Amino acid sequence: MALFDLPLDELQEYRPDVPEPEDFDAFWEKTLAEAREHDLDARFERVDIPLAGVDVFDVTFAGFGGHPIKGWLVLPAGAREPLPAVVEYIGYGGGRGLPHMHLLWATAGYAHFVMDTRGQGSSNAAQGDTADPVGSAPATSGFMTRGIEDPHEYYYRRLYTDAVRAVEAARSHPLVDASRVAAVGGSQGGGVTIAVGGLVPDLVAIAPDVPFLCHFRRSTTLTDRMPYREIGIYLKARRSDHENVYRTLSYFDGVNFAARGRAPALFSAALEDQTCPPSTVFAAFNAYAGRERSMEVYSFNDHEGGGPYQEDVKLRWLPQYLRG
């Protein structure tokens, strides 16, 4: 696919007017306060795996509604002192998978906390182990329209809350330095990373790659790829619900969370990305409130973005914040 969105010079200046609810901050303060009424109850059970370089713990903690959320904590083998930590969120449809799939950050010397994604992990190679016990009104296939008529019932209210609680769970482990925690993720995980960056004020850095969940109104009208297309299919049947749906989505838009982010941030975008169009990524990047922000651009890539090349960039970028 050739370039289909705005040219790069326009992307670099793209600052759309993305609606923000007047009660955005109050909504999230109340949501997180309600979640914290439940004991975090973070449990770490050591896993015996045939790898010499890492120690692995099977994690369970209380997320939204006190629901049990799974994860992995992967540490450099034999760690004895608290380590800086990388909390990672997973792409759409994926789950936490198996421990050996998550070796990069531990082999770089960090504690690596991988959050499972509630209800996901059955549509690609990485299986999930976390149920979503909350149902919803009629929705299209996938996760994008579950509870979309009401921000209090929307699926991503639960997922973003789980993600904040994952940072708290990671910080509760004695081998994690709670003062040095970064958040990373790609696609859906990138969108969640931006949200967490806006909700957790003391992260040392965030690194969202080709992030999903940004500038919903443009995303859902510019691309016909899934998962954004789920919303279009839903509105095909519910022809009069457009404005109510977009009002719900405004509480979860990465652009609005970016406007609250303060940690140093490294974004990436791919200019042929039809899944998360580059203008939607730049909308969040250009709205980002932190003074230290940078963007890696992959001109001839689709949603795979920088892949291992972007991993190399992050491995060289994060130490200045995690080891400082």
Given a contact cutoff of 8 angstroms between Cβ atoms, the answer to whether 305 and 267 are in contact is no
Say how far residue 324 (Cα) sits from the centre of its chain: 24
Residue 125: per-residue pLDDT: 66
Sheet (strand 83-89) strand order: 43-47, 54-62, 68-76, 111-115, 83-89, 176-186, 205-209, 265-270, 293-298
pLDDT band at 1 (very low <50, low <70, confident <90, very high): low
268 close to 295: Cβ distance less than 8 angstroms: yes
pLDDT tens track for 104-143: 999 999 999 999 999 999 876 689 999 999 988 888 889 9
The answer to pTM > 0.95 is yes
Residue 152 a catalytic site member: no
Q: pLDDT tens-digit profile of 269-291?
A: 999 999 999 999 999 999 999 99
Question: What's residue 139's pLDDT?
Answer: 83
d(CA 180, CA 323): 8
- Which helix (H) or strand (E) covers residue 189, if one does? helix 188-199
Q: State phi, psi for 115 to the nearest 5 degrees.
A: -90, 130
Q: Is residue 303 flagged as an active site residue? A: yes
pLDDT at 228 > cutoff 90: yes
Distances (CA, A) of 144 to 12, 130, 188, 218: 28, 18, 11, 15
Catalytic-role residue among 187, 219, 268, 279: 187
For residue 216, give both structure tokens: 């919903």
**pLDDT tens for residues 176-198?**
999 999 999 999 999 999 999 99
Q: Is 67 a catalytic residue?
A: no
CB-based contacts of 53, cutoff 8 Å, min separation 6: 76, 77, 103, 106, 107
CA atoms of 131 and 318, how far apart (whole Å) = 32
CA 127, 132, 138, 140: dihedral to nearest 10 degrees?
A: -20
Q: Which of 112, 162, 273, 279 is catalytic?
A: 273
Give the chain's length: 324
Q: Which one-letter amino acid corresponds to residue 53? A: G
Mean pLDDT to the nearest integer, 33-46: 98
From 25, 129, 172, 303, active-site residue: 303
Given this model, what pLDDT does residue 283 score?
A: 98
Provide the terminal-to-terminal Cα distance of the chain, rounded to the nearest Å. Answer: 41
Three-state DSSP string of 30-92: HHHHHHCCCCCCCEEEEECCCCCCEEEEEEEEECHHHCEEEEEEEEECCCCCCEEEEEEECCC
| Residues 122, 90 contacting (CB under 8 angstroms) | no
pLDDT at 68 (0 to 100): 98
